[in-house]
Amino acid sequence: MFQTQEKSLIIVYNSDTKQCAEFMTGLIAQMRENGHPINAITINAKKFASMREENKSAKQKILYIGNFAESKVAFSNIHNLQFDKFGIKYGWHGNRAALSIDGRLSDDEFRKMAAFAESTLKEYEIDMEKQAKKSNKISKTLAAVAGGSLLTKIVAGAGAILLGKVAVVVAVAAGISALAAMARNKGELDPGKVKEHQQKFAVQYFCLVHLNDFMGIKDEKTID
């Protein structure tokens, strides 16, 4: 599973990205209910900018969403972006991360984004299935060889290792399914819905692929 020490994340947003920030905190809360050790809060960019510098610890993990003064400073310090596709870009330097979502996607680009999202989700599902089978095999082998309290802990641990990853995948699966369903629509796509799904995908992909790296959380591996 994940290391047990809880970590906190401040998500700073502006008027254009408030809904996006709230969606992210909801997603992280759903993950937290399943054992993910992150507690996230949101704060308006203007309010955050007015805070005293001594209240902005250099050790505090902060994610800026949108384009405003402090997010631009954060972006200027990022040398290598972690993601830059479909009008979405983000990266981090130290404890400061920045994410921006710009432009209207064409219908073709939206469908490419949906295909990319489905492919990514499938890779994680396949990986979890392989790990689940491996853990189950290990559990059965150990159970056949010996018994006792130590064995019970090992067997239980083999299954628990997957819980953290499962929580993240389950949390984003429904959103990606909705994105894919809209992309399969043969007619002209609604620009408002395209933007909404673009913002949600940005958050979902960040949480699925890069949130742990930014927060300094290491996944435990299954037993080989």
Residue 1 lies in a domain: no
Does 154 have pLDDT greater than 50?
A: no
pTM across the whole model: 0.82
What pLDDT is stored for residue 30 in this prediction? 85
What pLDDT is stored for residue 32 in this prediction? 84
Residue 33 lies in a domain: yes
Backbone phi and psi for residue 16, each to the nearest 5 degrees, phi listed first: -80, -20
Residue 97 lies in a domain: yes
Are both 76 and 131 inside the same structural domain? no
Q: H or E element: which one contains 56?
A: none
Are both 52 and 139 inside the same structural domain? no
Are both 33 and 115 inside the same structural domain? no
Residue 46 lies in a domain: yes
101, 121, 141 — which closes off a domain? Answer: 101
Q: H or E element: which one contains 76?
A: helix 69-76
81, 101, 121 — which closes off a domain? Answer: 101
Mean pLDDT in residue range 32-50: 89
Does 191 have pLDDT greater than 80?
A: yes
Taking Cα atoms as reference points, which of 117, 89, 98, 97 lies closest to residue 180?
Answer: 117
Are both 111 and 211 inside the same structural domain? yes
Are both 62 and 116 inside the same structural domain? no
Residue 52 lies in a domain: yes
What is the C-alpha separation between 95 and 90, in angstroms, rounded?
13
What pLDDT is stored for residue 186 in this prediction? 80
The predicted-structure confidence for 43-102, as pLDDT tens digits, reads as follows 999 999 888 776 666 678 999 999 999 999 999 999 999 999 999 999 999 999 999 998
Does 162 have pLDDT greater than 60?
A: no
What pLDDT is stored for residue 22 in this prediction? 95
How many structural domains does the chain have?
A: 2
What is the C-alpha separation between 18 and 122, in angstroms, rounded?
29
What is the C-alpha separation between 75 and 72, in angstroms, rounded?
5
The predicted-structure confidence for 98-143, as pLDDT tens digits, reads as follows 999 987 899 999 999 999 999 998 888 887 777 666 665 555 554 5
35, 69, 101 — which closes off a domain? Answer: 101
Taking Cα atoms as reference points, which of 222, 211, 154 lies closest to residue 36?
Answer: 211
What pLDDT is stored for residue 224 in this prediction? 42
Q: Residue 14, SS3? A: coil
